[in-house]
Amino acid sequence: MLGRENKTYLKYCKIPLRRAIRINTLKATVSECTQRLKDHGFILKPIPWTRHGFWIENKADIALGNTLEHFLGYFYVQEASSMIPPLVLDPKKYETILDTCAAPGSKTTQMAEMMENTGLIIANDSNMSRIKALRYNLDKSGIINTIVTRMDAAKLNKSHIQFDKILIDAPCSAEGTIRKDWKVLSRWSETLIHGLSRLQKHITTNAIHCLKPGGTMVYSTCTLAPEENEEVITNLLDKVKGLTVEKITLDGLKTRPGIEEWQGRQYTEQVKNCARIYPQDNDSEGFFVAKIKKE
């Protein structure tokens, strides 16, 4: 897929992932929290594409997760690429949002913060053990605009609720996360990819019916496999009419367009408006994001 650049990609895959945090402005201001972390000895570097995100450039005498600020929910440990889908969705105050695969809650809490704890978020997940983590993170972050549900994400359209915006951060093969966890490679297989692709297609084609006309749905994965990305978007546009893939731009973020062909399969030309995020481009995890508008 990357040709001669593959060596650079593999080089970055072997480099440990930079730690990143997102300041929770429901609990503290950016200046207050960053100063407190600096007082602990941490060196912070702003993440270019978000005002509330910072890379942690060093190890201090205290572990990041052991700080009082972490315990109080002043910040959330969240990878820099993971902050992108909520920024693309851009939830506003008083809107109604569906987060289909919400646990453990990094993007849910980020959206609630962006909405200033107003409106309504339905945070859904099908796994009870993951829901426990979701509930914990919502409570610690001071979130009061979110209802947690346990449903099969592919059956959410049966709720007959219409949402202003929908986030699908889909279960995936997680190829983009190997800088953080090499165990991903031990689970990886083409069989896994194809199975997840079927699930992702099922989730997207059902969830889109929960979206109001004129609404926006963001689909994201932390994998680079076209079968789980461009193929899923192509399937959605083939199955449901009146959808448009919008171009994604975030200041400070380098992205590449979606690919229109892979292993003999042709995808809709609209996938070129999707964003592919490679580890070497932003020194981050690999990610894929698509922004879909419904007529």
Active site members? 222
What would the two tokens of residue 208 be? 């889109």
Distance CA 223, CA 288 (A): 7
What would the two tokens of residue 117 be? 């704890």
What would the two tokens of residue 42 be? 């941490």
Crossing angle of helices 190-207 and 230-239, in 10° steps, is: 40
252 secondary structure, DSSP code: T
Q: Which residues contact 2 (CB under 8 A, 6 or more apart)?
A: 8, 9, 278
Closest C-alpha among 82, 58, 287, 264 to residue 175: 287
| Percent helix / strand / coil, the chain, rounded to 5 | 40, 25, 35
Pseudo-torsion of CA 113, 114, 120, 124, nearest 10°? -70
Residue recorded with tokens 């042709």: 266
Contact call for residues 220 and 287 (beta carbons, < 8 A): yes
Cα–Cα distances in angstroms (integers) from residue 160 to residues 33, 207, 211, in the given order:
41, 11, 10
Distance CA 194, CA 163 (A): 29
- Residue 21 parent element (H or E): strand 19-23
What would the two tokens of residue 283 be? 């020194």
Burial (0-12, 13-18, 19+ Cβ within 10 Å), 142: middle
